[in-house]
Amino acid sequence: MNDVFLKVLFIGSGITVNELDKHMKKEAGRMNKAINYSKSCPECGAPEANGLDCRGQLEEILAWEQYSPELAEQHFWTVACFNIQHPSTITDDSWRGLCAVFCEAYDENLTVKDIRGQVSSRTEGAARIKRGVAAKPIAREWAMAISEVYLAGEPKGAADRVRAWSKVIRKQIEDFL
């Protein structure tokens, strides 16, 4: 939301423009303190937020799912986007398989049941997914990362942000395959 829109929105609420400007500066300062751009993930590029690295931000978003059915419906996309941006934690075959399932699910608008079927058909028996020891971080420049979904701890609108993140990943993924 831009500043002009907020000012127009609050004019009828009894808040003066000066009070609104003061409040917005205070909030901007608070938010800037919550984001630490000097500490960022070497793989996805997400800055630390509220003292949480990208894994901590993911865990918090997953916790929000219990309060938001709309966000819970996006669980596959949240986890898939995160894992696609962190290939050092899973085997190369698993990463390529995840990317293939992600692209097919996105392009064909598959249901969770369909996605599970795709995963089952691609794996036979016990397949190693995670690496025993994480590989060296694989740096890639992503247009959007978990920090844009987390927004310094703001759950409102997170499902929409996950959908946007999925769209960005889908557009960029071909460059990394």
Bridge partners, residue 135, by sequence: none
d(CA 151, CA 161): 9
Same domain, 35 and 49: no
Query: pTM for this one?
Result: 0.76
Over residues 19-54, the pLDDT tens digits come to 655 555 554 444 445 888 899 999 999 999 989 999
Same domain, 163 and 122: yes
DSSP state of 134: P
Number of structural domains (the chain) is 2
Same domain, 14 and 92: no
Same domain, 45 and 21: no
Same domain, 16 and 62: no
DSSP for 36-68 reads EEEEE-TTT-PEEETTB-HHHHHHHHHHHGGG-
Same domain, 59 and 98: yes
d(CA 177, CA 173): 7
Same domain, 60 and 109: yes
**Percent of the chain predicted with pLDDT > 90:** 53
Same domain, 95 and 107: yes
Over residues 52-95, the pLDDT tens digits come to 999 999 999 999 999 999 999 999 999 999 999 999 988 888 89
Average pLDDT of the residues in 121-127: 61
Same domain, 138 and 56: yes
d(CA 61, CA 164): 15
Its domain, for residue 16, covers: 1-40
Mean pLDDT of the chain: 82
pLDDT of residue 45: 94
Same domain, 148 and 95: yes
Same domain, 141 and 89: yes
pLDDT of residue 102: 96
Average pLDDT of the residues in 141-163: 93
Same domain, 133 and 148: yes
